[in-house]
């Protein structure tokens, strides 16, 4: 169960990375809520929340911001996830993802911003089936030092 929560956090962190560089997300304290759905699971995965302080310096370097969120890094423990094909149309951004390793998977994501909040989803395909992660975020204010 814990490993799935870490995977969710990693996906959300990766999904947020290109947003910093596009100026769609302001530095500050952000709360992200995620909900994973995977057909065939005997129980519904619980909603998870995580907060991250994104500094102005991190906002200028999205890779570093992602690597330092929650101390979890970019990988999934047994592989590496990479994003590509970023596209921005107004306040909406889309991308593709690929993770290598023992649990390789591919997918795509989208997020739409509205001021200091956002919502979106990432859909991943893997050997075990398809997983959809719905997420939303809101800026809580300035980071506390």
The CA distance from 26 to 19, in Å, is 9
> pLDDT, tens digit, for every residue of 40-89?
888 888 999 999 887 777 655 433 343 333 333 334 444 688 888 888 88
For the domain covering 2-141, report its CATH number. 2.40.160
Confidence band, pLDDT 50/70/90 cuts, at residue 90: confident
pLDDT of residue 37: 92
Residues in the chain: 145
pTM over the 0.85 mark: no
pLDDT of residue 1: 44
Tell me the DSSP string of 3-50. HHHHHHHHHHHHHHHHHHHTT-S-SEEEEEEEEEE-TT-SSPPPPEEE
Nearest to 103 by CA among 119, 120, 127: 127
pLDDT of residue 61: 45
């Amino acid at each position: 169960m814990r490993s799935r929560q870490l995977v969710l956090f990693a996906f959300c962190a990766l999904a947020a990375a290109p947003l910093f560089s596009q100026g769609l997300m302001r530095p500050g304290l952000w709360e992200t809520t995620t909900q994973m759905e995977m057909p065939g699971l005997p129980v519904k995965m619980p909603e998870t929340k995580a907060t991250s302080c994104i500094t102005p310096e991190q906002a200028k370097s999205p890779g570093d911001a992602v690597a330092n969120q929650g101390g979890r890094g970019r990988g999934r423990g047994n592989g590496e996830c990479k994003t590509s094909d970023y596209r921005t149309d107004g306040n909406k951004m889309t991308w593709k993802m690929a993770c290598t390793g023992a649990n390789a998977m591919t997918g795509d994501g989208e997020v739409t911003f509205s001021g200091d909040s956002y919502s979106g989803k990432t859909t991943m395909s893997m050997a075990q089936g398809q997983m959809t992660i719905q997420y939303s975020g809101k800026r809580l204010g300035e980071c506390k030092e």
